[in-house]
Amino acid sequence: MKRRNKMILVLSLLGVCLIAALFLGSAFGAVSIPMSDIGKMTLNKTAIFDFPTTWTAAEETIIFQIRMPRVIGGALVGMALATAGVLFQGLLRNPMADPYIIGTSAGAALGATIAMMLPISLAFLGFGLVPVAAFIGAVGTVFLVYNLARVGGKTPIISMLLAGVVVSALMASIMALLITISDRLHLSLQSVYSYLLGHISVTGWEQLAVIAPLVVGGAIFARFFAFHLNALSLGEEGAAYVGVNVERDKIVILVLGSLLTAAAVSISGLIGFVGLVVPHAMRLSFGPDHRLLLPAAALGGGAFVIIADLIARTVMAPAEIPVGVITAIIGAPFFLYLLRRTRKEYAF
């Protein structure tokens, strides 16, 4: 019962944080809109309530067409990256693991850069060529790494990490080459740079309708593997001894983590730090049990990215700071505070 109560308490708390972040993120920007108005106009949309309109039509457009899609997009990005971070750290038993560790980031970056060079425009489910190419690049790279690391019916973790590092390095150098000759390729360095630092670009609800089921569904599906992730902390052999089909779980967790990451990078570029630090922060605060850790990281990650994005677009308005810069600037001191605060040695 004790564990159950803790779980309910922690998740309610983080749930409240996420909802508060959604409202805060919607309220502030070039024009501030009172949160009470945001609440009322949202409730009016349900057709059950009918509050008198105390706001302008322009304000309503700003909320529903610009801010909410972006804020919800931020929440989904944070949720996806933090969940994928927990999955990869648990599977690889590596504290340095993050959603990008086995090549998703390099693959996505290369995919996006190539797309930026191509003189084609395309719209697929509301997505342009760049997000689609980033998604394909991320998933394709993990597929490549997994198969390169596979020997004799098994995929040892160490081989996978090494193959990931090497494939990432290869792709990074191709990127560097493309950037060097960017003027010949009509490649805008500005857009490549913006992609690499992370920038949440949601153009409307249509994109969210694709990303949201993938991310929310993925985060819920991940929870099915909580027991097995706990068992995997015994190592591959140890997990097998307590009944885990390790090779099967490895594929499922890898595919799930990569899809979540690919979904995130397709609308946000490479936001660093979230997938590495949110899982650690949650583990330091609430313990290593994946039954709590997975949903806690999803909620916490969502709130964190919304707030980071809010800061990114308001502090130097009208200029926007890349959100990846903010996640590190506010995430690093917070994480260091947590790390220093725990009197015991952080076990990983």
Partner 1 sequence: MIGLQINQVDFSYFDGLVLEDINLSVKAGEMVGLLGPNGSGKSTLIKLASGILKPKRGEIRLDGNHITSLSRRFIASNVAVVPQQFHIPFAFTVSEVVMLGRTPFFRALADESEDDRQVVDNSLELVGIEELAERRFDELSGGERQKVILAMALAQQPKLLLLDEPTVHLDIAHQMEILELVRELNMGRGLTVVAAMHDLNQAALYFDRLILLKEGRVWADGTPQEVLTEVGISEVFAASVRVELHPLTGAPHIVVMPRVKATKPH
Say how many C-beta atoms besides its own lie within 10 A of residue 130's C-beta.
Answer: 22
Angstrom distances, CA of residue 155 to CA of 203, 249, 250, 321, 342: 39, 12, 9, 40, 36
Please tell me whether residue 50 binds partner 1 under the rule CB under 8 A.
no
Cα atoms in the Cβ-side hemisphere of radius 13 Å centred on 332: 6
Please tell me whether residue 244 binds partner 1 under the rule CB under 8 A.
yes
55-94: contacts with partner 1 (CB under 8 A): 93
Residue placing its CB nearer to partner 1 in the complex, 51 or 348: 348
The SS3 assignment for 345 reads: coil
Please tell me whether residue 49 binds partner 1 under the rule CB under 8 A.
no
Please tell me whether residue 52 binds partner 1 under the rule CB under 8 A.
no
> What is the contact mask toward partner 1 in residues 93 to 112, using x (rule: CB under 8 A)?
x-x-----------------
Please tell me whether residue 156 binds partner 1 under the rule CB under 8 A.
no
The SS3 assignment for 127 reads: strand
Residue placing its CB nearer to partner 1 in the complex, 89 or 105: 89
Say how many C-beta atoms besides its own lie within 10 A of residue 289's C-beta.
Answer: 17
Please tell me whether residue 245 binds partner 1 under the rule CB under 8 A.
yes
CB of 184 to partner 1, least distance (A): 48
* Structural element, H or E, at residue 74: helix 68-92
Q: Which of 49, 124, 224, 337 binds partner 1 (CB under 8 A)?
A: 224
**Do 138 and 111 form a contact (C-beta atoms < 8 A)?**
yes
Residue placing its CB nearer to partner 1 in the complex, 138 or 222: 222
Q: Which residues contact 145 (CB under 8 A, 6 or more apart)?
A: 102, 103, 160, 163, 164, 167
Please tell me whether residue 287 binds partner 1 under the rule CB under 8 A.
yes
Q: Which residues bind partner 1 (CB under 8 A)?
A: 4, 93, 95, 223-224, 227-228, 230-231, 233-235, 237-238, 240-245, 283, 287-289, 291, 344-348
